[in-house]
Structure 1
């Protein structure tokens, strides 16, 4: 169908209107996205503040005192729970962290209730301190997850603003070019020149960036041809640059993903990656019906190491323990830092006997290859709790709790022991 020059001008005008509508719509959409991101940011700050206050209450008050009033702590914890229930809409990645916060909050509430129920009058000071430390760790994890969630939200704000600003700038530039060149010069073009320009655009669309060579020269088309040829030259360079940038972005993304899933001290998986792998192994177990065993290990008297030798030696000891564990576990096993001096080893397709065997290898290897501090051997032991998935409806957190209870029994029975959860009978 033959299209007249006036129709082309009309089409260009309509296109400009559409682009303007897209710009307005994009601005509105960007405002909504930024507003949602700020609401998420405000939410994460409130969660972090609540967690800090709860930690301060635990630190400043003697929760085991007979006259201790837990009302303030419980009221604040209730406010935190209500706040978590009123969380704004989150992305799937942010929701994972939100779920971790909810889980830790429930665990902290249960642990505090247990500690405050009878003041643990019959328990030793070490047990009381251990439980109090665990409560502080859980509150710190809530705060740390809130900070991580806040960082993700801030990045979302930056990405939305940057992406939309660039998009709006491109649309404005295209609109201006269409108005200035299309409206004033397309009305004066010749048929042959129009055909040649049309062919050049078709070749350009297919990736063939060739220069336009007009059969009939004209002042009206010379500037268009020059701009088009310059654009083609830049596009040909940009295509190469985009490919290089894509590779760089992909490499940086892989590095960032690895950093976000790695404990900065020990270089093993962090708590977030540990829970992600645990949920994955639970799904795989449910699908192919294989065994799943978990080892939770804790370094005995780790606080004494920090007190006597300093925190730097304590950090080196944690890294040494991770090296020993990585040497003794299988390639399909997964080691992660659960918190403090506690580590978890996920053992896919492994029963309790296999878990006990791996735990013994780790203990023996730690005895043979101990850490050398100032020319002297630093001998430490590990208390380990083992649990195995029995009920397919169990969650990964429940599996951890069973292993933690077994490890607690190992601590009570003298440390440097391997205990199996009471809900599991070794084969």
Structure 2
């Protein structure tokens, strides 16, 4: 959640941030009213408790007649204290709920607007001109069949729409991409993690995924568990309720996990192939650091994502995502979108977000500085996709295909496929 002091002291800043996301500013007035009610309820409770203590101190010194009167007053006051405590708890809950409904305040650099209002930061590489090469590119569905890499028909038979099997070279490609991503992350100082894909509600709510993204989340019926849509969720909760040594920051993790998404709201979009699916595997970078360092760390995460895409020899662009398309927790997000030849457009492959202290406040992740300034404060959290397997495979197959249906393996990926240079149709 946002720092409550910002709402109290700079309400117009919060109103402006809401407008930048295209959201109503009514929540600001509700928040201020809830805070006022909370403070009044706390004051009432504390006054009643003080009166109760004062009255209790008089009883041992009172005469028998006075004692009976004081005991009667104490009984009445006890009921009033109980009611005041309940009112305080209700006011606290209402304040917390309003505070949690306010998204993180978008960075000044973040473009205003919605999904289509992003700003292109740069283009890297040049999309292949297949017409100049004399052949029409096949899409990843046809290539997947030719290469024995993707089985959509049996995926649908076994699990339903938007499911698939990766077979043969397709399965090898996934393992190769995961290993290459993990090697790069380890070389950059990340701790490798295999993260759980089932989490308790606090982890999901603490990362902001039970807010605007709740419709896209799978819940296990009869269990207090959710399937994650990204390993950002378990990694954010990894240090929950802990105080970290500030000297140990940044803490960088590269986590592999399966990811599950309902793809709510995507009816009719990408219904064929493996671009938009209900399950995929991913290597996600996650960082805990200081607020001051988070902005430079965000740029570093983008740099590591670009390094990985460069190794795959893909043409891509980097965009600055508009405020209305940010998740609840992020103040700024960069997407790397690879060129998909048969679609004639760029599609998101990776993204990286700076969530500042938003998630840490919800999950109670703090750090303590050394020396005389031994303050305890929330850490900042950031996340960045190193590789989302299905979309990465789509980009590789379509970008590096040859006229005969074979696919050239990017040089950097070849050692992870036993030196294979060309994937041939089966």
- After TM superposition, the score normalised by the length of structure 2 is 0.29
Bigger RCO (CA 8 Å, 6+ sep): 2
User: Which is strand-richer, 1 or 2?
Assistant: 2
User: Which is helix-richer, 1 or 2?
Assistant: 1
* CA radius of gyration, larger in: 1
